[in-house]
Structures are given as structure tokens and as C-alpha cells.
């Protein structure tokens, strides 16, 4: 993946295109993910996620990280920015620095987000005094420290908004060649420089000196830069794909990659392009980090195996040496005993100098050791212990070494097993890409066997919203025949659902009703058309929040309380391949999922069931696909309607 951060064109286009959407948003909360900070926003009644990663990016996102935490900077944001409102967004200089202001209780804070190498997110007062930052640092030309006035990074390149053609030409002529002149003097990345050369018809001359190119051609190059900047404001984003991997994205139609490199290009809105690309980059980095850690663990394991083999070999040599000594002693016991007795007697009566008379090979008085030369080998014994005591000690030592060898070989087997496991893990395909999050996922939801979307409220407020926003006169409204059930809507979208589709929707209405926690085996669910549902009560009556009046005939279905939960693999032209947890009618879930479980009301708590179901789903999916999927297990608990019992599972 070529692109590691938003470029200057991206920043300029994104701010101009999304400034109005961001301005006025309320910051509900702040989180820290592994790579970025996440602001949860409330924008005109809609919940949105803003990802900010200094040095790399700032954009709205459809995907939420599987794990979120807080750090010191997040704590500061929660204390001073949470519940505040974003009041302005700007790009004060032609540099990759995004500036936005937040207001909370009349206090204005200014945020400088630097999308440059070693960039910092700095929070200042309204007079630019630094209050806090993602890190404090003293650079060569500026300081980020509390109380110091914020200074932006040195500006790089020329602004197409303020610089004339002459300015650009003068700067370009200082370059070593065309492409490097654009990069160094205009401050653009290489792929943008080459894009301009393609558009100006100068790609083949990219390595020529600017002075060797006609002024007319150079002026055309500048004009193409102006056009490219204007094109970026059209709001389109272009994902450049090669072999199922996004190489980069651009805010302009990338002729360099379509005409020169023959790449596939997918066009979406700019923010989606940024979000999809960095989500893919994040997944790629996770996989690379996992691979690096496993390779490092494998190298360390192999070093430990080598050390263990050396240890076993040393123990075996010692065991063999002791065994040979004992064998020699046993085969020559009487002879050695006589010599040993002679040594002890002579030493005590005549001293060490006379021991040669006993037939010794040599004697070491300082160590108290004598050595006897035998046909098989030399045997050395201590004169400070009896021969019998030394034989017993040698046998004991030999037994200890045998035990050590056995244990060392067991440890070696465990090491080799772990090494094989690591090698297997390296070969396993891992899918860790976060899935995009869609508007309907804030509700209970499913899709029927024929692809109709079904949404249901999780509480009285959501029941109101579901009916008010999504229930048309010809759509299907469903409700379990019990107090405390979700308002459920099957959205027709101009098509006619079958009775089976309506039953699929009824499963959601039934399973997420109070009947589940009450331990029912089944519940009746009625359905009507949207035109039969009204929020207007009869004269003199009152409807509580989330309650509705139903007029006309109700059609009833008896629905067993059996819920399917599966891992469903989606393949999208833009987002690529991703996995979502899918719930619904067991028949549908089993048909569309790569692994599934069926649950009924039971005694296993939601927290206990989450881990058990995750294990089953991941193992079954791996058996079927050979791929280990992540970012699924953390969402299981949120899908459960209450305590459960798993009654079936499979791929």
C-alpha cells in the first residue's frame, strides 16, 4: 500500500467538502484506539464517528474499533471537550494542518491536527497558548509545551490558491529534474507529481531538467495543477486497486494509474475512499505486526530449542562418562579396592610421596585425588571417602542426570510442538479487517431470505423512531403479542415480500420481546401494513412513548423462540471482504453464514454465553474456510436477547 497518510490535496478537499457537516456537531465522547483517537459525534440527530490520527488522517468513519480505551490525552478531551460543540473547521495554511474549534460552556478551545511526519494534535486556548497535546516535544524549529504559544510546522511548497504561474515556474527551475522539482519545490508527493506530468503530456520527460522543457509546456504543467486542485472539490474519491489490495486513493481521477499502470479504480465519495483505504491499511498493519511478532517468536523458540539440544547433549555426555566409570569400577572392583586400600594405608603411615608404590598413574595431594590406569580407561577417586561411598554417589548422580535428560527431552518436545504451532499460525490466513457500520445497526436488524431489510427498536425511543422514519403505508409492521416487545418493520422497498419473508421478520419481533427473558418456548406475533399503524389515539385517550394504535385486521404467526447467530461473509465492491455477526431466522442464518449457533432461552448469562458462542463460531468458521476471523467476538453479547442455551452449531 503506497499511501501512508493524507496528502495536501486530500486535506484541502476534505475540509472544503465536509466542513459544514462537521461544524455544529456535539462531541458525545472520546476514545483511544491503537492507531488513532476517536470522537463520537452527534450531528443534527445523527451519530457519527470522527477518526483523528496525527501524521496520517482525519475523516468520518463507518467502522468502529473492536476495542477502545483511554489515555491521558483522551482523559483531557473528556474533561474539557466532551459535550462541547465543534464551531469551526479550517485549513489556515497550504499545509497538512487541520484546525477546528470547540466551544463548551462559553470556553473556546482550538485544535491543531498535524497530518505531517511526527505530527501532533495540540489543544490551545483561543489565544493559541498550548494547553495539552498528544505528546510534548521540542523540535528543531518549534516547541510543543504547556503555556508556550503554538507555532505551526514550517510551511512546505507553494499554494495553488495564492501563487502565480510565474511563482511555480521559478520554483520548478530550481529542481534537479521535472518530477523531483515538483516534489521538492511545489511540496507534492511523487504520485501527484507524476499525475500532473501525465495530464500535461510530459510523463516521458519526467527525468529531464526543467530548463530543457519549453516554457509553454511548463505553464501547461502549472495549469494542470490548478485544474487538479479544482477537481478535488467535486467530492469524488478514487480507490486504486491491484490484486484485491488498495494501493492508494486520490481526490481526483488518477490517470497515472489507469493509463500508465493499468490499475482498476473504484469511484466513491471522498470520505468513503479515505475511510475504506485507511481501514484496509489498518488491517494490513495489524497483519504485518502479527506476522512480525510470530516470526520473532519462532526465531526465539528455535534458539531455545538449540540451547535445549545442547543441554541434552551435555547431560548425555556426562551420563555416558559416569556410566563408563561405574562399569570400569564394577569390572575391576577387587583390583581397585586393593589399590585404594594401599593408598589409604601408605598415605597415613609414610605420606603422599610414597603412593607411587601402590601402582597409581598419578596423585594430586591438593585435591585429595588418585588416578588408576585400567585397560578400559583411567579412573580417578577421592581418598577422603571410601570406595563404596563414591560408587553410591556416582550411581545417585547418574540417576539424577537420567531424570534431567528425561525432563529436558519432555521440554524439548513441548518446545518443538510450540514451534510447529507458531509455523502453523504463520501459514493461517487471518482476517482482521473491521466491518463498516451501517445506519440500521443501531437497531435490532436482520435481512430476510429474499433480502428485505428488517429493523426493530431496542427501547421505546427507538420504537418511535423506527415507525416514524422507516414505516411506509405499504411496509410491514410486526409486534409480538406481549407487553414489552420491539416495534418491528419490514421495509419493502417497492417489492412484495413472501409469507416466508414475513416469518423471518417475525423471528426478530418474537426473540427480542420480553417473552425471551420470561423463558417462553414460542410467542404469537401479529403483522399489519404500515397504513394500519397510527400514533393518534382515540379521543380522550393517551398513547405512551413507543406505543401505537393498530386499526383493521391483524394477521398472526406462531413463532418459536429460536434465534440463529452466525458469522456472515460479505463482499462489497468498495469495502471488499468483511464479516459481520448476523442474527435472524435459524433457517436463513444457517443458509448464509460460514458458521452459526442456534440459541433458545436458557440459564447461560449473556456474558458467559458471549465467550462460548465466539469460540464455537470462530472454530467452525476456521474448519470451513481455513481463515481465522477477528473483530467478531466482541459484538456477540450485544446480539443476545437474554440468557441462552446453545442447542445447535455448525459450519
- 402, part of any domain: no
In this structure, are residues 192 and 135 in contact, taking their beta carbons and an 8 Å threshold?
no
Query: With bands split at pLDDT 50, 70 and 90, how would you rate the model's confidence at 40?
Result: very high
Least confident among 30-39, 144-153, 327-336, 352-361: 352-361
Arithmetic mean of pLDDT, 250-261: 94
- Of 560, 579, 598, which marks where a domain is finished? 560
Q: Provide the sign of the torsion angle of the four alpha carbons 462, 467, 471, 474, taken in this order.
A: positive
Same domain membership, residue 620 and residue 520: no
- Of 105, 121, 144, which marks where a domain is finished? 144
Same domain membership, residue 515 and residue 471: yes
DSSP state of 513: S
In this structure, are residues 282 and 226 in contact, taking their beta carbons and an 8 Å threshold?
no
Phi, then psi, of 52 in degrees rounded to 5: -130, 120
DSSP state of 399: H
Same domain membership, residue 111 and residue 69: yes
Query: Quick one: pLDDT at residue 539?
Result: 65
Number of domains into which the chain is organized: 3
- 213, part of any domain: no
Query: Quick one: pLDDT at residue 421?
Result: 81
Query: Quick one: pLDDT at residue 622?
Result: 80
- 268, part of any domain: no
Same domain membership, residue 555 and residue 627: no
What confidence tens digit (pLDDT) does each residue in 542-564 have? 666 767 878 889 999 999 999 99
Arithmetic mean of pLDDT, 30-58: 93
Query: Quick one: pLDDT at residue 424?
Result: 76
- 97, part of any domain: yes
Same domain membership, residue 593 and residue 552: no
Same domain membership, residue 128 and residue 12: yes
- 120, part of any domain: yes
Classify residue 67 as exposed, middle or buried by CB count within 10 Å of its CB (0-12, 13-18, 19+): exposed
- 237, part of any domain: no
Tell me the three-class secondary structure of 193-206, residue by residue: HHHHHHHCCCHHHC
- 90, part of any domain: yes
What confidence tens digit (pLDDT) does each residue in 113-128 have? 999 999 999 999 999 9
Read off the CATH number of the domain in which 37 is found: 2.30.310.10
What confidence tens digit (pLDDT) does each residue in 376-399 have? 889 999 988 999 999 999 999 999
- What mean pLDDT is reported for the chain? 90
Percentages (nearest 5) of helix, strand, coil residues in the chain: 45, 25, 30
Same domain membership, residue 536 and residue 646: no
What confidence tens digit (pLDDT) does each residue in 268-312 have? 999 999 998 988 887 777 777 777 888 888 889 899 999 999 999
Any idea which residue has 522543457 for its cell?
A: 213
Does this model's pTM top 0.75? no
* Interatomic CA distance for residues 624 and 579, integer angstroms: 14
Three-class SS of residue 4?
A: coil
- Of 560, 584, 604, which marks where a domain is finished? 560
Q: Which helix (H) or strand (E) holds 219?
A: helix 215-231
Arithmetic mean of pLDDT, 421-429: 75
Classify residue 100 as exposed, middle or buried by CB count within 10 Å of its CB (0-12, 13-18, 19+): buried
C-alpha cell at 646: 446453545
Domain of 536, in residue numbers: 439-560
Least confident among 213-217, 347-351, 543-547, 606-610: 543-547
| Cα–Cα nearest to 103, from 130, 124, 128, 83 | 83
Residue 237 forms beta bridges with which residues? Answer: 268
In this structure, are residues 630 and 600 in contact, taking their beta carbons and an 8 Å threshold?
no
- 363, part of any domain: no
Three-class SS of residue 493?
A: coil
Same domain membership, residue 535 and residue 498: yes
In this structure, are residues 218 and 170 in contact, taking their beta carbons and an 8 Å threshold?
no
Three-class SS of residue 303?
A: helix
Least confident among 152-156, 285-289, 503-507: 285-289
Query: With bands split at pLDDT 50, 70 and 90, how would you rate the model's confidence at 534?
Result: confident
Same domain membership, residue 87 and residue 26: yes
- The DSSP result for 334-398, as a single string, is HHHHHHHHHHHHHHHHH-GGGGGGGT-SEEETTTTEEEEE-SS-EEEEETTS-HHHHHHHHHHHH
Same domain membership, residue 135 and residue 13: yes
Same domain membership, residue 580 and residue 537: no
Q: How far apart are the first and last CA of the chain?
A: 33
Query: Quick one: pLDDT at residue 318?
Result: 94
Higher pLDDT, 624 or 408: 408
Same domain membership, residue 547 and residue 574: no
What confidence tens digit (pLDDT) does each residue in 75-127 have? 999 999 999 999 999 999 999 999 999 999 999 999 999 999 999 999 999 99
Amino acid at each position: 500500500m503506497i499511501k501512508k497518510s493524507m496528502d495536501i490535496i486530500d486535506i484541502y478537499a476534505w475540509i472544503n467538502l465536509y466542513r459544514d457537516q462537521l461544524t455544529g456537531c456535539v462531541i458525545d465522547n472520546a476514545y483511544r484506539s491503537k492507531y488513532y483517537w476517536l470522537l463520537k459525534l452527534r450531528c443534527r440527530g445523527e451519530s457519527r464517528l470522527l477518526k483523528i490520527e496525527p501524521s496520517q488522517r482525519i475523516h468520518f468513519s463507518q467502522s468502529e474499533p473492536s476495542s477502545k480505551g483511554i489515555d491521558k490525552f483522551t482523559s483531557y478531551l473528556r474533561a474539557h471537550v466532551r459535550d462541547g460543540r465543534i464551531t469551526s473547521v479550517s485549513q489556515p495554511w497550504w499545509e497538512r494542518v487541520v484546525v477546528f474549534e470547540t466551544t463548551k460552556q462559553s470556553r473556546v478551545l482550538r485544535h491543531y491536527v498535524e497530518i505531517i511526519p511526527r505530527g501532533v494534535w495540540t489543544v490551545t486556548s483561543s489565544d493559541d497558548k498550548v494547553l495539552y497535546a498528544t505528546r510534548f516535544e521540542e523540535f528543531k524549529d518549534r516547541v510543543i509545551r504547556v503555556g508556550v504559544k503554538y507555532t505551526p510546522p514550517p510551511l512546505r511548497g507553494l499554494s495553488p490558491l495564492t501563487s502565480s504561474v510565474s511563482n511555480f515556474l521559478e520554483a520548478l527551475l530550481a529542481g534537479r529534474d521535472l518530477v523531483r522539482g515538483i516534489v521538492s519545490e511545489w511540496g507534492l508527493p511523487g504520485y501527484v507529481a507524476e499525475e500532473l506530468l501525465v495530464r500535461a503530456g510530459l510523463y516521458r520527460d519526467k527525468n529531464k531538467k526543467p530548463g530543457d522543457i519549453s516554457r509553454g509546456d511548463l505553464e501547461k504543467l502549472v495549469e494542470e495543477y490548478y485544474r487538479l486542485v479544482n477537481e478535488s472539490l467535486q467530492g469524488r474519491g478514487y480507490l486504486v486497486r491491484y490484486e484485491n489490495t488498495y494501493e492508494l486513493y486520490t481526490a481526483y481521477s488518477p490517470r497515472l494509474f489507469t493509463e500508465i499502470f493499468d490499475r482498476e479504480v473504484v469511484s466513491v465519495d471522498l470520505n468513503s475512499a479515505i475511510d475504506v483505504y485507511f481501514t484496509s491499511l489498518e488491517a494490513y498493519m495489524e497483519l504485518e505486526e502479527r506476522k512480525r511478532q510470530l516470526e520473532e517468536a519462532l526465531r526465539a523458540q528455535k534458539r531455545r530449542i538449540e540451547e535445549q539440544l545442547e543441554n541434552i547433549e551435555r547431560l548425555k555426555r556426562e551420563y555416558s562418562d559416569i556410566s563408563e566409570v561405574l562399569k570400569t569400577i564394577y569390572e575391576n572392583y577387587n583390583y581397585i579396592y586393593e589399590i585404594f586400600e594401599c593408598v589409604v594405608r601408605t598415605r597415613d603411615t609414610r605420606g603422599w610421596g610414597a603412593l607411587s608404590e601402590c601402582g597409581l598413574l598419578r596423585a594430586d595431594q591438593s585435591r585429595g585425588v588418585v588416578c588408576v590406569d585400567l585397560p578400559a580407561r583411567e579412573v580417578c577417586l577421592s581418598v577422603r571417602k571410601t570406595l563404596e561411598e563414591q560408587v553410591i554417589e556416582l550411581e545417585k548422580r547418574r540417576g539424577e542426570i537420567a531424570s534431567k535428560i528425561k525432563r529436558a527431552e519432555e521440554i524439548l518436545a513441548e518446545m518443538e510442538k510450540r514451534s510447529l504451532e507458531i509455523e502453523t499460525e504463520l501459514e493461517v490466513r487471518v482476517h482482521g479487517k473491521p466491518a463498516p457500520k451501517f445506519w440500521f445497526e443501531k437497531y435490532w436488524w436482520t435481512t430476510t431470505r429474499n433480502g428485505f431489510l428488517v429493523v426493530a427498536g431496542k427501547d421505546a425511543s427507538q420504537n418511535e423512531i423506527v415507525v416514524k422514519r422507516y414505516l411506509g403505508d405499504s411496509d410491514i409492521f410486526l409486534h409480538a403479542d406481549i407487553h414489552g416487545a420491539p416495534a418491528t418493520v419490514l421495509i419493502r422497498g417497492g417489492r412484495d415480500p413472501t409469507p416466508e419473508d414475513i416469518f423471518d421478520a417475525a423471528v426478530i419481533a418474537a426473540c427480542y420481546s420480553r417473552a425471551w427473558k420470561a423463558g417462553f418456548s414460542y410467542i404469537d406475533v401479529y403483522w399489519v401494513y404500515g397504513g394500519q399503524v397510527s400514533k393518534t389515539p382515540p379521543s380522550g385517550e393517551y398513547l405512551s412513548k413507543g406505543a401505537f394504535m393498530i386499526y383493521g385486521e391483524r394477521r398472526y404467526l406462531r413463532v418459536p423462540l429460536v434465534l440463529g447467530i452466525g458469522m456472515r461473509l460479505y463482499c462489497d465492491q468498495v469495502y471488499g471482504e468483511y464479516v459481520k455477526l448476523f442474527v435472524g431466522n435459524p433457517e436463513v442464518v444457517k443458509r448464509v453464514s460460514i458458521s452459526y449457533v442456534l440459541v433458545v432461552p436458557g440459564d447461560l448469562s449473556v456474558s458467559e454465553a458471549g465467550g462460548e458462542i465466539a469460540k464455537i463460531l470462530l472454530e467452525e468458521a476456521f474448519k470451513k474456510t481455513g481463515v481465522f476471523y477477528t473483530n467478531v467476538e466482541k459484538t456477540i453479547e450485544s446480539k443476545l436477547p437474554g440468557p441462552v442455551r446453545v442447542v445447535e452449531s455448525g459450519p
